Amino acid sequence: MDHMDKQHPQILLTASEMGEADKAAVQAGVPAMELMAAAGKAVADAVLERWSRCRVLVLCGPGNNGGDGFVVAQFLLSAGWPVRLAFWGSVETLSAEAAYFYQAWQGEIEAFATDLLDQTDLVIDAMFGAGLTRSLEGKPRDMVDAIIKRKMPVCAIDVPSGVDGTTGAAFGLVAPAELTVTFFRKKPGHLLFPGRGLCGKLVVADIGIPAPVLDELNLHTWENSPELWYREYPWPRLDGHKFHRGHAVVFGGENMTGASRLTARAAMRMGAGLVTLAVPIKVWAIYATAMTCVMVTKLEQSQEAEDFEELLLDPRHNAIVVGPGAGLAGFERIRTRKIVLAALATNRPTVLDADGLSAFADDPKILFEAINGPCVMTPHEGEFARLFPDINEEHAGDKLRRARLAAKLSAAVVILKGADTVIASPDGRAIINSNAPADLATGGSGDVLAGFIVGLLAQGFEPFYAAAAAVWMHGEAACEVGAGLIAEDLPDHLPKVLTAFKKQYYTD
Ligand SMILES: NC(=O)C1=CN([C@@H]2O[C@H](COP(=O)(O)OP(=O)(O)OC[C@H]3O[C@@H](n4cnc5c(N)ncnc54)[C@H](O)[C@@H]3O)[C@@H](O)[C@H]2O)[C@@H](O)CC1
Ligand SMILES: [K+]
């Protein structure tokens, strides 16, 4: 494929992939000693930039994370800072480069003891990094516990000790860092919670690993950014016509009529040429009076699904969304299922959200078997657990893997929503989103997201990119609104986001 290439600055490396990149760099002629020296220097520079001279305690563990710690300690000492260093491990098992910097450290080497914290203003956490395999025990655990109790400021090397860089899961207690300095590329665990919340500010430092080493690795995870998909973006054409920009169909239910209205409005704002809201006749007037630029079509009582099917006979209706406010109570559940199946039977790009997913909780297989065309599903954690109970249980604590497996099983692009939304493609690629502010956790924001996606699908954007772009725009719109955000604000702040996006990325 394209610009989602492996050397991309947005690529994310698991702990073991980082190890492979490290090895490949050494094979390409960069000495391991130099990598460690550069890593330690980068951390020291970040510390000097953020904090003023203070009493530092560097806590070094048994592996190369500890090795980086020896280097940091020496740099800070040379800069005239008061530095103490404690080591937990055995000198005999240090790697050659860590042993070298252990020897090079000019100060005293002390044992781990929590009273060292009494004379400390800043802790450098060089205990465990990518090599962590289990919860901390004994002295390191006591140390972490004491750091947490005293609420000490911490600068973590690579990851806060106890965070799994690959999944973001925490092995037991973790002392949260104010600053985390990692090397070369981010890891998924820097973006996924709880890891993300424990890293504080994240700095990625170049330590001299040549980017081409990434070409040899089997990589398939990126951090979301327009850089990944702007080249494919369906820019409106100057000579365009509303029919060039697609016609999205939104199903609206009887009770939560606000949900699908938000979806329809969001689809219009995202640039769909036309949007039709198809709704039961009983509530038609409610919808029709509330919408202006959206067309509202009636579905006759007791034959809503059949009427919906008929509506879709028109091939100009090129993208569909079912779910927001679709209804699950009593007969509505059956109807929602029929509407979803009618949408999927067209093999046109379809977004399934909310009730459109939950309606299949009893038998998700029926849903998965019906997906034969481009489809984007947007479950939150609760909906995900209902549709993918086995994956959810087996891989609890690994959101990235859960989303990837769900996409593979269902053959749909899966957007597993949350503060750290994951977008997974059935082909194995995944994108982690990182621009969503906390304000976005509000009723109706999911309905807007579904509308953003269908708006892009209607314009012909490929589903995986449409999903990633919609999630990113959604986060940007929320940042634009700021505190006090309600879902209605999101579509109405989208024009500013789209304008800034176009200004930065559009090329003729
Ligand atoms: N990958 C790279 O390009 C570079 C990595 N560097 C550093 O190297 C680190 C990775 O080094 P390592 O692979 O040696 O891993 P770590 O330094 O994270 O530690 C591995 C050691 O800890 C032990 N261990 C794991 N979990 C434990 C637990 N809960 N309790 C007690 N012992 C435990 C392991 O048996 C192993 O001996 C990175 O995090 C980074 O800080 C840097 O030196 C620069 C270059
Ligand atoms: K660490």
DSSP per residue over 458-493, as a string? HTT--HHHHHHHHHHHHHHHHHHH-TT--TTHHHHH
User: Which residue CA neighbors atom 42 of ligand 1 most closely?
Assistant: 36
Q: Is it true that domain 15-223 has CATH number 3.20.20.60?
A: no
Is 420 annotated as a binding-site member? Answer: yes
Ligand located closest to 64 CA:
1
Q: Give distance in angstroms: CA of 21 to centre of ligand 2.
A: 19
Low pLDDT (below 50) residues in the chain: 1
Residue type, 5: D
Judge contact between 167 and 188, C-beta under 8 A. yes
Question: Is 11 a pocket residue for ligand 1 (Cβ < 6 Å)?
Answer: no
User: Which residue CA neighbors atom 24 of ligand 1 most closely?
Assistant: 132
Fold assignment, 238-505: UDP-N-acetylmuramoyl-L-alanine:D-glutamate ligase (3.40.1190)
In this prediction, residue 291 carries a pLDDT of 83
Q: Give distance in angstroms: CA of 157 to centre of ligand 1.
A: 10
Is 417 annotated as a binding-site member? Answer: yes
In this prediction, residue 1 carries a pLDDT of 43
Examine the predicted complex and report whether its ipTM is higher than 0.90. yes
Question: Is 65 a pocket residue for ligand 1 (Cβ < 6 Å)?
Answer: yes
Q: What is the DSSP letter of 277?
A: E
pTM of the model: 0.97
In this prediction, residue 8 carries a pLDDT of 87
Is 129 annotated as a binding-site member? Answer: yes
Question: Is 153 a pocket residue for ligand 1 (Cβ < 6 Å)?
Answer: no
Q: Please list the alpha-helical segments (H only) found in 359-488.
A: 364-370, 381-387, 389-394, 399-410, 445-458, 463-481
* Pocket-testing residue among 36, 65, 70, 139, ligand 1, by greatest number of atoms within 8 A of Cβ: 65
Question: Which is nearest to 397 in space by CA: 174, 222, 175, 192?
Answer: 192
In this prediction, residue 3 carries a pLDDT of 61
Distance CA 22, CA 35 (A): 8
Q: What is the DSSP letter of 290?
A: H
Question: Is 68 a pocket residue for ligand 1 (Cβ < 6 Å)?
Answer: yes
Mean residue pLDDT of the chain comes to: 96
In this prediction, residue 244 carries a pLDDT of 82
Question: Is 289 a pocket residue for ligand 1 (Cβ < 6 Å)?
Answer: no
Closest ligand 1 atom to 209 CA? 3
Is beta strand 375-377 parallel, antiparallel or unpaired with respect to 122-126? unpaired
Domain ranges of the chain: 15-223, 238-505
User: Which residue CA neighbors atom 26 of ligand 1 most closely?
Assistant: 132
The count of other CB atoms within 10 Å of the CB of residue 234 is 19
In this prediction, residue 4 carries a pLDDT of 74
